[in-house]
Amino acid sequence: MRLVIVTGMSGSGKTTALKMLEDAGFYCVDNIPLSLVEKFIELVAMPENEIDKMVLGLDVRADVHFEEAHEILKALKDKGYPMEILFLDSSDSSLIKRYKETRRLHPLTPYGRVEDGVKKERQILEELRKASDYVIDTSNLLTRELKAELDRIFVQNESYNSLMVTVTSFGFKYGIPNDADLVFDVRFLPNPYYIDELRPKTGNDKEVQDFVMNHPESEEFLNKLTDMVKFLIPNYVKEGKYRLVIAIGCTGGRHRSVTLANALYDRLKDQGDYGIKLDHRDIYNKRG
């Protein structure tokens, strides 16, 4: 039997993940008290049990002593019960934004500030997160991207990528992305905006890409950036980092930054044990 424990930060997408795994053929049980977890796993692990794929959702809502979940699961693993722990995480800013958008109360601070609940929950879950087999950061994941990652791990049984790299373009006139780990400024490159026929196009168009990359400084910058990022990624993985956002900015986020972000993404994809996605934050931004 394959047993998956789904847990993580409130608001990170655990309910969505449970539904996706249920659609993939797993029998799902959500939010049972910690005191029943051991007995439940003992029952489903019995030889006469006909269920061969089980998901158990654990949440801080289930018990006031949820910090004991790590020790309970560790003890069960030590007894030989095969289980995989999937931990869904998200940045504090993303979690707070989701709570504010949905006007929901945090389960740990129903009468207080969401920020305090997120901080308290992260402390409670710290050891459980460290002991998890898979950590997926949903801060920048679309629903379909989360589904693809779950399918890859639990349906196709492919290797797990502990680090998710996001390459994003942006415009400095709209501000630097709040979640950026590495920020690079390409405003030193020749600007297609001042070419009448290129102005309405973007860095996704070949004409703009050719204009930007035909300048020697563009190719040199891309080579140096690629070398540095390829050096950093395995060291980030070794250090246990699970999310890396590389932000490349120009003035408006439509031409140069998009071109370089596309080029960097092309050089990094399929290059190692990490997931990677591409995003263009301001490519169609008309503000200002």
In the chain the domains, ranked by start, together with CATH numbers, are 2-155 (3.40.50.300), 164-280 (no CATH)
Query: Would you state the pLDDT for residue 288?
Result: 38
For strand 243-250 and strand 182-185, is the pairing parallel, antiparallel, or unpaired?
A: parallel
Q: Note whether 55 and 29 are within 8 A (CB).
A: yes
pLDDT exceeds 70 at position 142:
yes
The string of pLDDT tens digits covering residues 159-201 is: 666 688 999 999 999 999 988 999 999 999 999 999 999 999 9
The burial of 186, by beta-carbon neighbours within 10 Å (0-12 exposed, 13-18 middle, 19 or more buried), is given as buried
pLDDT exceeds 70 at position 64:
no
For 4, list phi and psi in degrees, rounded to 5: -115, 125
Mean of all residue pLDDT scores within the chain: 88
Q: Is the pTM of this model over 0.75?
A: no
What percent of the chain has pLDDT above 90?
Answer: 49
What is the rounded CA–CA span in Å between residue 165 and residue 271? 12
pLDDT exceeds 90 at position 79:
no
The string of pLDDT tens digits covering residues 4-38 is: 999 999 999 999 999 999 998 999 998 888 888 88
Q: What's the rounded mean pLDDT across residues 66-81?
A: 85
Q: Note whether 44 and 4 are within 8 A (CB).
A: no
Q: Would you state the structure tokens that stand for residue 110, as one six-digit string? A: 């129903």
Q: Which of 137, 165, 126, 160 is nearest to 4 (CA)?
A: 160
- Please report how many Cα atoms fall inside a 13 Å half-sphere around the Cα of residue 165, on the Cβ side: 25
Other beta carbons within 10 angstroms of residue 116's beta carbon come to 12
